[in-house]
Chain A
Amino acid sequence: MAQKIVIDPVTRIEGHAKISIHLDDAGNVAEARFHVTEFRGFERFCEGRPFWEMAGITARVCGICPVSHLLASAKAGDRILAINIPPAAEKLRRLMNLGQIVQSHALSFFHLSAPDLLLGMDSSPATRNVFGLIAAEPAFARSGIRLRQFGQEIIELLGGAKIHPAWSVPGGVRSSLTEPARQRIRQWLPEARATAIDALSRFKKLLRNHKAETQIFGNFPTLFMGLVGPDGTWEHYDGNLRFVDSGGNIIADQVAPSRYREFIGEAVEPWTYLKSPYYRPLGYPEGIYRVGPLARLNVCTSLGTPLADLELSHFRELGNGAVTSSFYYHYARLIEILTALERIEMFMDDPELSSDRLRADAGINSLEGVGVSEAPRGTLFHHYQVDANGLIQKVNLIIATGQNNLAMNRTVAQIARHYVHGPKIQEGMLNRIEAGIRAFDPCLSCSTHAAGQWPLQVQLLGPDGSLLDEAVRA
């Protein structure tokens, strides 16, 4: 008879995510479920509101990557107006998105994952966090804090606020880059770049001690999806969708984002508020695919900037076609920080960023619009239908983290398989499962709401529901 391990917060109120692990008759792990327990209902309460408001409202889906929602929403609005935005506006939107990639990836690496990687996955939970990192590695922690700050300041210099700037709107943007802002970014760039390069070299050294993690932290074949430019270059703001398989073979290319429904289906499971998107031609759940930094590096032909492309060539040696271990999300994230910094630097010489032609005016010219952007965690879709007055009739949001849902479940199962044999929970499993999930940098605010507090209590249940074993981490 099959058994089930439930990983559950002590009183079920401490966190927004839970995990359960199902065993087969032989006591081996059959499957794992990553449960997301929050829901806020944006798709419903946006109905009836003017589409002009959508950028401001949907940014509040997520305070970690509000710029992604701001951009995807404004782009869906551009489609409804049926206009091309001024070239300066596109460049400025790109610059803000690059700032966001830097800040969000820095948060994921320095504030959230470096404590696992540098202090150790089995170090005390009381200090395995950014404050513990400040105590143990002050210079490294400070450099990471400042790198995130750099990204946040770019957002603020353009939009007037670090979080939820009211700046990108259907038709363009509200303001351009001022001369003092340009100076400030220019002056900060060398430090930011040094931090990124240092983090990359530290991470590569760490890899030697993390052989086991690279093997079991979500290492399996899946498809990968991301935006690419016309020649296959890495994209973060525009472009078309590309899917590759685990051998690195392109299986669908230059798919216009407006056709996403032909390629992406969404399934619902009774045990989570997070939907499970899948690649429609392969069905569910065979159509498992991953998005985000690892996927973007796997789908792109090149990164398009010299230092990052050099690093990409090292990265590619880790795979056979595509790089399939989710542990390398960390590596991919650092490489993306580097290319973002290189691109920001190139923008600093572009006079057009000071242009005052920033916004195209139009009325409702199309009753439907799909806007897409590469959020730090992966491809983000906003799909709106409006009436003749521009009031929202329907909204569908496909969020990056949701698209990794199937892969996160499989990652938990893979790690558990390593640590569960028969009705006993092995030492170290909880921390490894958390770290494995953290490699994806899941942003559950985006999907439904935020979840940052992870499971505490693992219960291994017998066929009759009796408790076989239990592990609690306080």
Chain B
Amino acid sequence: MDRLKIATLWLGGCSGCHMSFLDLDEWLIDLAGKVELVYSPIMDIKVYPEQVDVALVEGAVANEENLELIHRVRRRTRILVAFGDCAVTGNVTALRNSVSNVEGVLHRAYLEAADLQAQVPSEPGIVPALLERVVPVHEAVPVDYFLPGCPPPAARIRSLLEQVLAGTPPALAGQDLKFG
């Protein structure tokens, strides 16, 4: 049997979920023997490949690039996992929804808090526009499984991956359903 093709990606998050993935520590060495990592911020492949078995998606959908990427990932992936609270609920990344529109948020960071050349970065084709509202992944595309936690502890990630590797639909229970 071919090794399972796994991808990890990050949208609007803090990379903490990916760090928790690396907290799998020496189990990563076992994992390297069982799966093929085909796309991840920790590697150099730039194009999201076709026919990915499992994708762990960290972060909320916050700008136009995130939105375009997550649609492509959905098309090319069998099992899509919302990885961590930002992906599941929007979490900290979505805090900006409640306080101000996009303009206000940018204004504060780049006009008021700058000393020189105060302006909102906007070079066309270079810096992507922010979405008016940050949304969790399942508001953008269908999600197969939810892995909560900020970040999900490594043991929880391992439990999900082991079930996927065994070919059973992952079921999380008890402590493993905790947010935060």
* Chain A nearest Cβ from B178, distance in angstroms: 12
Q: Across the interface, which residues of A come within 8 angstroms of B13, CB to CB?
A: 63, 445, 449-450
* Chain B nearest Cβ from A233, distance in angstroms: 30
Selected from A10, A44, A134, A152, the residue in CB contact (under 8 A) with B46 is A10
Q: Is B104 an interface residue (CB 8 A)?
A: yes
* Chain A nearest Cβ from B9, distance in angstroms: 8
B127 and A11 contacting across the interface, CB-CB below 8 Å: no
B interface, size bucket? 35 or more
Q: Is A269 an interface residue (CB 8 A)?
A: yes
Q: Across the interface, which residues of B come within 8 angstroms of A128, CB to CB?
A: 43-44
Interface of A, secondary structure class, is: loop
* Chain A nearest Cβ from B165, distance in angstroms: 16
Q: Is B173 an interface residue (CB 8 A)?
A: no
Q: Is A61 an interface residue (CB 8 A)?
A: yes
Query: Which of A13-21, A189-197, A416-424 is the interface stretch?
Result: A13-21
A396 and B29 contacting across the interface, CB-CB below 8 Å: no
Q: Across the interface, which residues of A come within 8 angstroms of B77, CB to CB?
A: none
A268 and B110 contacting across the interface, CB-CB below 8 Å: yes
Q: Across the interface, which residues of A come within 8 angstroms of B122, CB to CB?
A: 270
B47 and A10 contacting across the interface, CB-CB below 8 Å: yes
A138 and B29 contacting across the interface, CB-CB below 8 Å: yes
Q: Is B62 an interface residue (CB 8 A)?
A: yes
| A352-371 contact mask (Cβ, 8 Å, vs B): 1 or 0 | 00000000000000000000
Q: Across the interface, which residues of A come within 8 angstroms of B110, CB to CB?
A: 268, 275
In angstroms, Cα B115 to Cα A60, docked, is 26
B-facing residues in A422-474 (Cβ within 8 Å): 434, 445, 449-456, 473-474
| A262-274 contact mask (Cβ, 8 Å, vs B): 1 or 0 | 0001111111110
In angstroms, Cα B46 to Cα A434, docked, is 13
* Chain B nearest Cβ from A451, distance in angstroms: 8
| A28-59 contact mask (Cβ, 8 Å, vs B): 1 or 0 | 00000001011111011101100000000100
A-facing residues in B31-86 (Cβ within 8 Å): 32, 37, 40-48, 59, 62-63, 65-66, 68-69, 72
Given contacts A57-B92, A142-B29, A273-B127, contact A450 B113 (CB under 8 A): no
The residue on B at minimum CB distance from A456 is B46
| A122-144 contact mask (Cβ, 8 Å, vs B): 1 or 0 | 00011011110011001001100
Q: Across the interface, which residues of A come within 8 angstroms of B40, CB to CB?
A: 129
Q: Is B100 an interface residue (CB 8 A)?
A: yes
* Chain B nearest Cβ from A111, distance in angstroms: 7
Q: Across the interface, which residues of A come within 8 angstroms of B91, CB to CB?
A: 60
The residue on B at minimum CB distance from A272 is B121
Q: Is A226 an interface residue (CB 8 A)?
A: no
* Chain A nearest Cβ from B101, distance in angstroms: 10
| B136-180 contact mask (Cβ, 8 Å, vs A): 1 or 0 | 000000000000001101100000000000000000000000000
Q: Across the interface, which residues of B come within 8 angstroms of A152, CB to CB?
A: 23
A474 and B45 contacting across the interface, CB-CB below 8 Å: yes
Q: Is B114 an interface residue (CB 8 A)?
A: yes
B23 and A14 contacting across the interface, CB-CB below 8 Å: no
In angstroms, Cα B117 to Cα A278, docked, is 13
Q: Is A214 an interface residue (CB 8 A)?
A: no
Q: Is A163 an interface residue (CB 8 A)?
A: yes
Q: Across the interface, which residues of B come within 8 angstroms of A163, CB to CB?
A: 16, 19-20, 23, 151
In angstroms, Cα B110 to Cα A268, docked, is 7
A-facing residues in B7-33 (Cβ within 8 Å): 10, 12-20, 22-23, 25-26, 28-29, 32
B-facing residues in A57-111 (Cβ within 8 Å): 57, 60-64, 66, 107, 111
B117 and A13 contacting across the interface, CB-CB below 8 Å: no
A450 and B10 contacting across the interface, CB-CB below 8 Å: yes
A40 and B93 contacting across the interface, CB-CB below 8 Å: yes
Given contacts A145-B29, A275-B114, A453-B41, contact A60 B65 (CB under 8 A): no
A37 and B65 contacting across the interface, CB-CB below 8 Å: yes
Q: Is A284 an interface residue (CB 8 A)?
A: yes
B-facing residues in A270-287 (Cβ within 8 Å): 270-273, 275, 278, 280, 284
Q: Across the interface, which residues of B come within 8 angstroms of A316, CB to CB?
A: none
Q: Most chain-B Cβ atoms within 10 A of its Cβ — which of A266, A278, A455? A: A266
Q: Across the interface, which residues of B come within 8 angstroms of A271, CB to CB?
A: 121, 123, 126-127
What would 8 A/B residue contacts be, using CB atoms closer than 8 Å? Answer: A146-B25, A146-B26, A266-B115, A266-B116, A268-B114, A268-B121, A275-B110, A474-B45
A12-B125, A66-B16 known; 5 new pairs, CB 8 Å cut-off, are: A39-B109, A44-B105, A63-B19, A284-B116, A456-B47
Interface residues of B (CB under 8 A from A): 10, 12-20, 22-23, 25-26, 28-29, 32, 37, 40-48, 59, 62-63, 65-66, 68-69, 72, 91-93, 95-96, 98-100, 104-110, 113-119, 121-123, 125-128, 130, 150-151, 153-154
6 smallest beta-carbon distances between A and B, as pairs: A63-B16, A452-B41, A129-B43, A41-B105, A456-B46, A267-B116
